[in-house]
Amino acid sequence: MILGHFYQREEVVQHADYVGDSFQLATAAKGRADAEAIVFCGVHFMAETADLLSKPEQAVILPNLAAGCSMADMADIDQVEDCWEQLEDVFGDLDAPDEEGRVPVIPVTYMNSSAAIKGFVGRHGGIVCTSSNAQTVLEWAFQRGRRVLFFPDQHLGRNTAKAMGVPLEQMPMWNPRRALGGSTATDLVDSRVILWHGFCSVHRRFTVDQIDQARAEHPGVRVIVHPECPMEVVDAADESGSTEYIRRAIDEAAEPTTFAIGTEINLVRRLAAQYPQHEIFCLDPVVCPCSTMYRIHPGYLAWVLEELVAGRTPNRITVTGDVADPARVALERMLAAKPPVPAGVR
């Protein structure tokens, strides 16, 4: 089975059995026990997730091992363990529930994180989210904890919590290079969401000026951005949502519409080609591909397929040891909190 993330280039996606966002592809990996091998055309954390959710005898293959995610790399397990110890100094026993049964802090990690981080979260009563279920997951966490430690993407955390009514003053940032993350103990005690200092370099490029320009040049334009964009950009847009949300919004538009989209260029170009009745363009005029997604060159895909035909298993991604079981627990909590819309079959 070949899985393709929405950000893959067309020459790769045309070979995929399923195309979708990270949530949909995680469940596609879980749902095809008959596939001997799963070739994941996406980035490293997605392949790790597929390995965690598929059967042990299924091999998950990443066509280029250098296809990582710079945002996922911004939360390193040692930094996160260190953060947790500092939070223990502030709050005491982080596993001890109060009189209402809620613990001081629930860790929530974005899917865009290493298996080690997912394992950490699973061990400490936490959960994974993606951009398509972040609100549901935060509601889950607030039922169990006084506050959330959210990593690695500050923007998804801030945008989601703000939409749920959490005031910005109650969302201090945690900079792993500073004592107490650069906050005071009082800020942390008063907080509802502690935001890790991470971001996506692709989505950080979108600006309010680009939205203003799109509105000036295309009266009536519908602006949709990914929630990894900075808060000001999400606030200035008409809507924000995951890659699958963006695809569905365009698919469901009954009238010919002009869409300005704030996400990775390969998806925007594909949508523009698939829906010629609409005018669809990327908000950033200097096109912004995700350079690590782009490392899945079609030549690598051909190579891993040829290797499989020859009876070899190249570039296998396996999550083992102490990490795998708690990481799977954190993922299963997410899947139980909100089942996804199935990935598109090509």
- Give CA–CA dist 50/279, Å, rounded: 35
**Which region among 15-23, 87-95, 217-225, 281-289 touches ligand 13P (by CB under 6 A)?**
15-23
Q: Is 223 helix (H, G, I), strand (E, B) or coil?
A: strand
DSSP states along 106-160: EEEEESSS-HHHHHHHHHTT-EEE-TTTHHHHHHHHHHHEEEEEEESBHHHHHHH
Angstrom distance (rounded) from CA 217 to CA 21: 30
Which is closer to ligand SF4, CB of 170 or CB of 207? Answer: 207
Q: How many residues form the binding site for ligand 13P (CB under 6 A)?
A: 10
Residue 171: helix, strand or coil by DSSP? coil
Question: With binding defined as CB under 6 A, does residue 21 bind ligand 13P?
Answer: yes
Nearest to 194 by CA among 81, 84, 305: 84
Residue 131 binds what, of ligand SF4, ligand 13P, none (CB under 5 to 8 Å, by partner type)? ligand 13P
200 binds ligand SF4 (CB under 6 A): yes
Q: Shortest Cβ contact with ligand 13P: which residue?
A: 21
Q: Which does 70 bind (CB under 5 to 8 A by kind): ligand SF4, ligand 13P, none?
A: ligand SF4
Here the tokens at position 159 are: 């945008």
Query: Which tokens sit at 115?
Result: 């298996």
- Does residue 243 touch ligand 13P according to CB under 6 A? yes
Among 24, 54, 112, 130, binds ligand SF4 (CB under 6 A): 112
Q: Please tell me whether residue 228 binds ligand 13P under the rule CB under 6 A.
A: yes
Full 3-state SS string of 230-243: CHHHHHHCCEECCH
Rule CB under 6 A: choose which of 293, 319, 324, 330 binds ligand SF4. 293
Site for ligand 13P in 131-190 (CB under 6 A): 131
Can you tell me which of 16, 71, 149, 280 binds ligand SF4, judged by CB under 6 A?
71
Report the chain's terminal Cα–Cα distance, integer Å.
Answer: 12
- Alpha carbon 14 to chain centroid distance? 23
> Which residues contact ligand 13P (rule: CB under 6 A)?
21-23, 112, 130-131, 200, 228, 242-243
> Which residues contact ligand SF4 (rule: CB under 6 A)?
43, 69-71, 112, 200, 202, 228, 264, 290, 292-293
